Amino acid sequence: MVERSRRRRADHASTQDGKRLFRVATRWKVLATTFAFALIGPAGALLPHARPLPSTTRAAVTPLAVLLPGSERPFWQPIASQFEREHPGVRVDLVEGPQSTDLRENIYTASLLAKDPTFDLVYMDVTWTAKLAAAGWLVPLDGFVSPAERLDFLPSAIAAGEYEGVLYRMPVRTDVELLYYRRDLLDAARLQPPQTFAELVSAARRLQSPPGVWGFVWQGKQYEGLVCNFLEVLSGCGGYWVDPATLDVGLDRPEALAALSFMLSCVRDHPVSPPGVTTYEEEESRRLFQDGRAVFLRSWPYAWQLAQMSGSPLRGRVGVLPMVHAAGGRSAGTLGGWGLGISAFSRHPSLAMEFIRAITSPAGQRALCAPTGYAPARKEAYADRELLAANSFLADLERLHGNAVLRPPIPRYALASDILQRHLSAVLAGSERPASALRDAAGEARAMLAGSRAASGSR
Ligand code: GLC
């Protein structure tokens, strides 16, 4: 309970801060494009959590700043404090940003575009690497991290930090999409855990009693999470979004139509998902499940530990599966995860690298992952006694990473995602029909990718 209310407070606070920061970011964008940024000074002056020091001590302190989701701040704080103790004269500023990856990416983009040195460290989603690296906004890490050191981390997590063969981001934690289910309810009804979309819907229908208890909750809001949900359903239908090797777009193929039709069927006709699902991000859907108001939940590994904590009504009652698939298809879970890069405009790149070493060290991984249930990026953490004692689920997680499906690692990923988000959301809201929405999304994605090819060809 204590943990939950702490997270709620953190979520609420971060939403408020997020709104504030987003207003700040929007202002930055405008200012940057009109070359007026310099007039307002560095962004640090605008940030709500930067701790100004009295002018007498300011000269002696080296600040090292990173923007992160508000909910993660309490868990980074002990690592940051330890780092400060080991580096006298250094102050780590953990700046609370919004929860959603899209909004934080906007803030970082606005800051980097303006060559603003405020954020030394860039806490990056798996999908940001190509864009930020291609723009020249990140320090290459090849000189800092040897090939042998990289072998200590999950290969998919390291790969997510590379662009054109160069490492730009060290993985801090990884994520893979999972399907949580109420094992107690399925057992009582003598139902086997589902493997296919049809079995999921049938079990959800049988066990739900809306509006009190819904069958299946997921993330249907127009944001990056919706793309993650769609991608794994699409893979489970045998389809693809953008082939990273050929840049071929698969959105107007029958598999994509089958995937979107499945998602739409969850909210239409004989729904198994609440109407509000089209406005849910991760926490809205997880809370419903956590409160015992949903049978199935699609979410990331962090949801497991919260379900098991003392006082949770779900303790001992939840099972986890790889995401279900079409009959004859294969399970897929979208690969997520977070890592740190160093801003090309940081005034302290070596110090920033030392912080990266601290948080990705065995002790750093323990400190971050034990209280949160985050999936570590370092391989040996999966056999770490302390971590396993805090979260026995780790052993399964390593295996579940085998089903991971990647979002395309292209520099214009944010645009590709935006196109898809808009059309998926319009279909779920009932304002576009699936086949024409996917045709339009495919056309827009092809035009955008052709534009990028032409731009890189003319460089
Ligand atoms: C999680 C994943 C990240 C993904 C995001 C979508 O934070 O780690 O990769 O983009 O969720 O909401």
Distance from C-alpha of 286 to C-alpha of 425, rounded to nearest angstrom? 20
CATH says 176-334+411-458 is which class?
Answer: alpha beta
13-175+336-405 and 176-334+411-458 have identical folds: yes
CA of 458 to the centre of ligand 1 (A): 33
Nearest CA, atom 4, ligand 1: 336
Nearest CA, atom 1, ligand 1: 336
- So where are the chain's domains? 13-175+336-405, 176-334+411-458
Of 126, 178, 228, the one to substitute when testing ligand 1's pocket (max ligand atoms within 8 A of C-beta) is 228
Superfamily name and number for 13-175+336-405: Periplasmic binding protein-like II (3.40.190.10)
Of 108, 124, 125, 421, the one to substitute when testing ligand 1's pocket (max ligand atoms within 8 A of C-beta) is 125
CA of 397 to the centre of ligand 1 (A): 16
Distance from C-alpha of 84 to C-alpha of 90, rounded to nearest angstrom? 6
Q: Rounded to a whole number, what is the largest CA-CA distance in the chain? A: 70
Nearest CA, atom 12, ligand 1: 225
pLDDT reported for residue 451:
85
Helices (H) and strands (E) in the chain, counts: 19, 13
pLDDT reported for residue 457:
58
CA of 86 to the centre of ligand 1 (A): 32
Distance from C-alpha of 155 to C-alpha of 402, rounded to nearest angstrom? 11
CA of 227 to the centre of ligand 1 (A): 10
Average pLDDT per 10 consecutive residues for the chain, totaling 459 residues: 42 40 41 31 40 48 97 98 98 97 97 98 98 98 97 96 97 97 98 98 98 98 98 98 95 98 95 97 97 98 94 96 96 97 98 98 97 95 93 86 92 97 98 98 97 66
Taking the CA of residue 337 as reference, the ligand 1 atom at the shortest distance is: 8
Distance from C-alpha of 65 to C-alpha of 117, rounded to nearest angstrom? 9
Taking the CA of residue 126 as reference, the ligand 1 atom at the shortest distance is: 9
Q: Where are the beta strands (DSSP E) in 19-111?
A: 62-69, 90-97
Pocket of ligand 1 (CB under 6 A): 101, 125-126, 175, 224-225, 228, 282, 300, 336-338
Taking the CA of residue 125 as reference, the ligand 1 atom at the shortest distance is: 9
- Determine contact, residues 351/64, Cβ cutoff 8 Å: yes
Nearest CA, atom 2, ligand 1: 336
CA of 76 to the centre of ligand 1 (A): 18
pLDDT reported for residue 229:
98
Torsion of CA 254, 260, 262, 266, to 10 degrees: -170
Residue of 115, 399, 441 whose CA lies nearest to 251 = 441
Cross-strand bridge partners of residue 182: 318
